[in-house]
Chain A
């Protein structure tokens, strides 16, 4: 890894901005509050089940959202649907998210805690 200079830094920023257009992704909150609530299991379930069902989706981790009382939190981005953040996600709910939201393009009831209006 070559050390960055001011110029190569700018180049990198440019490269990264071009890379940004992704298709489907899911972010799982993996801070201590999330992990304590079971986010690790959720992350694993999402990864395995997505693989099983051959779903094209990037599953990432992120930090603490702030809504710590409803962890595990999972943000879902599927083009054509609003970005939402699901809370109190357990393994069953994780599967629901994949089957309903990602595959059937139908949001899961009673688990949405935040609507991402701006991106």
Chain B
């Protein structure tokens, strides 16, 4: 019999169903004398969740779920020995991820141009330089329906077309690697894991718009990404895939790297351009758009890393193939950085149109604890929260926008009951206020004042009037800010108020934070029935807020209590109630 491997995993999130299942399995295998040809292995993760005990048999890729101890005999006798598939047990969970952008990440050595070429790399540019015109390249992009993955979702073909048509003796193409959203690191992974794909995408874009010079603008906080791109560029030059007359054609293309310097706002196109020009990184009014007047006043197109990583595949497999993935208006895949209270946090790449539920439960493995999901935050500091009622929403640009959030660059944070919506809004707004360039009033002062109000709400000094004030400021920021940072900085606030206004009111009127996040709204008290009167909390309290004696018991004086949580930390008897 051919050697077979059996993989076993109990996929139930909470109550484990199959105790010692693998021991039982192995013991039956031994019983029937198959231990030489059947290997039984417990795995840490099998890609299927909440389906009881899952048994996978390779080769053959047979997968059974909800397997009980009583099924072991059948599986060994029928499937292992005879090769028959037991239909009732079969679990056909299709793989949800579709790796297009991340096709080479984790597969090839990023420092090896040969591995990239061996995986089909630079075939796209070769095809283009074998007789295609820039117009044909743009047409292929149009067919593909690719939209900018940096967050705005602007049709890539249109951006290239407008830049191509603009007047200018010199044009530029820039790769935006400034990925500033907290928690988003898709671009970093692509730059570190498959740098050549981005170089190839950049070259293709340059060809399409008529640019002979390209820039990588990478944030300085990504030193490894910079190093990998630097090495990749050098290798590409060595092989003649950059520089003059690439692959013997008349197309020449040079690439340079420019580093960011710690400013989130420099991910915005015009601020990025100012940064490369050596000026203060602040946005400019648009129009004129960069496609007409960009870097050094020349027509410039700026594309996100993920967008560019899609280009070589679109050119080799065709725009129609790409358009076959995704929804009507959002084609292709999207890489999300799935983080938060989810079991499997990391990067996931899925076709557009997959639902949030599928991402979180089928790929993410569900929530990490036994708490209920509360909401999903998408789009980073420019996005909003999507409450659990909408988990079956197919993910695409338009749907997320309708819910009051955005796709953004791909941040997706799963939240449970322990996450306070006011706190979340505060975190994101605080980020934007910190990163505001300061040029325009609505963002600079509006963001600051909005944050002050949120701080007061989370410190028990908010009023109901504050909710209206926040909405007023948010409207001014949205309509009158100079760039998208200011225009979207209030989104988390607006979105959380929209869906969780009760939570805000709870903070304001009842001075309660049910998620126990806002420390000023916490109440620490001693549960007399559990308290052993050991006085450890008294000794550790920095505010001397615990008084009493061994006879009558100890009490926390709420007026003095600094809400530091030290008593909660040090009590060995669980006698401190935190609410």
User: What residues make up the interface of A, taking CB atoms closer than 8 Å to B?
Assistant: 1-6, 9, 12-13, 16-17, 19-20, 27, 29, 31-33, 35, 60-70, 73, 75, 80-82, 87-88, 106-115, 117
Contact of B192 among A16, A31, A75, A80 (CB under 8 A): A31
Q: Is the CB of A112 within 8 A of B43?
A: yes
B342-375, CB < 8 A from A: 344-349
Q: Is the CB of B104 within 8 A of A87?
A: no
Chain B 52-73: CB-based contact to A (< 8 A → 1; otherwise 0): 0000101101000000000000
Interface residues on B, range: 35 or more
B230-284, CB < 8 A from A: 238-241, 243, 247-248
- A88, B44: Cα distance in complex, Å: 10
Contact of A35 among B44, B106, B224 (CB under 8 A): B224
B25 CB-CB contact with A under 8 Å: no
- A62, B46: Cα distance in complex, Å: 22
Q: Is the CB of B238 within 8 A of A73?
A: no
9 closest A-B pairs (Cβ-Cβ)?
A63-B193, A3-B240, A65-B106, A68-B346, A64-B189, A16-B118, A112-B43, A63-B105, A5-B248
B188 CB-CB contact with A under 8 Å: yes
- 29 A-B pairs (CB sep. < 8 Å): A1-B239, A4-B239, A4-B240, A9-B122, A12-B114, A13-B123, A16-B117, A16-B118, A19-B118, A27-B107, A31-B192, A32-B185, A32-B192, A61-B111, A63-B193, A66-B346, A67-B45, A68-B346, A68-B347, A69-B346, A73-B106, A87-B45, A88-B44, A107-B39, A109-B42, A110-B42, A113-B43, A113-B44, A115-B47
Q: Is the CB of B102 within 8 A of A66?
A: yes
With A63-B104, A66-B349, A117-B61 as contacts: A9 and B126 at CB distance below 8 Å: yes
Contacts of B348 in A (CB 8 A): 66
With A31-B192, A68-B347, A82-B59 as contacts: A62 and B107 at CB distance below 8 Å: yes
Minimum CB–CB distance from A70 to chain B (whole Å) comes to 7
Q: Is the CB of B104 within 8 A of A115?
A: no
Contacts of A13 in B (CB 8 A): 117-118, 123
Contacts of A29 in B (CB 8 A): 106
Across the A-B interface, how many residue pairs have beta carbons closer than 8 Å? 146
Contact of A6 among B108, B109, B194, B248 (CB under 8 A): B248
Chain B 187-216: CB-based contact to A (< 8 A → 1; otherwise 0): 011001110000000000000000000000
Closest A residue by C-beta to B223: A32
Contacts of A5 in B (CB 8 A): 240, 247-248
Contacts of B110 in A (CB 8 A): 61-63
Contact of B106 among A4, A75, A106 (CB under 8 A): A75
Minimum CB–CB distance from A96 to chain B (whole Å) comes to 13
Q: Is the CB of B5 within 8 A of A60?
A: no
Minimum CB–CB distance from A50 to chain B (whole Å) comes to 17
Q: Is the CB of B105 within 8 A of A65?
A: yes
B3 CB-CB contact with A under 8 Å: yes
Closest A residue by C-beta to B123: A13
Q: Is the CB of B46 within 8 A of A70?
A: no
- A45, B122: Cα distance in complex, Å: 34
B547 CB-CB contact with A under 8 Å: no
Chain B 113-145: CB-based contact to A (< 8 A → 1; otherwise 0): 010011000110010011000000000000000
Contact of B45 among A19, A27, A33, A112 (CB under 8 A): A112
Chain B 88-115: CB-based contact to A (< 8 A → 1; otherwise 0): 0000000001000010111111110010
Q: Is the CB of B344 within 8 A of A67?
A: yes
Closest B residue by C-beta to A109: B42
Q: Is the CB of A6 within 8 A of B106?
A: no
B79 CB-CB contact with A under 8 Å: no
- A70, B346: Cα distance in complex, Å: 9
Q: Is the CB of A107 within 8 A of B45?
A: no
Contact of B44 among A3, A4, A20, A87 (CB under 8 A): A87
- A29, B97: Cα distance in complex, Å: 19
B7 CB-CB contact with A under 8 Å: yes
- A6, B131: Cα distance in complex, Å: 12
B510 CB-CB contact with A under 8 Å: no
Contacts of B129 in A (CB 8 A): 6
Minimum CB–CB distance from B340 to chain A (whole Å) comes to 11
With A4-B240, A63-B192 as contacts: A17 and B118 at CB distance below 8 Å: yes
Contacts of B7 in A (CB 8 A): 112, 115
Contacts of B123 in A (CB 8 A): 13
Minimum CB–CB distance from A2 to chain B (whole Å) comes to 8
- A33, B56: Cα distance in complex, Å: 29
- A33, B105: Cα distance in complex, Å: 13
Contact of A63 among B108, B114, B122, B349 (CB under 8 A): B108
Q: Is the CB of B106 within 8 A of A110?
A: no
Minimum CB–CB distance from A80 to chain B (whole Å) comes to 7
Contacts of A32 in B (CB 8 A): 185, 188, 192, 222, 224-225
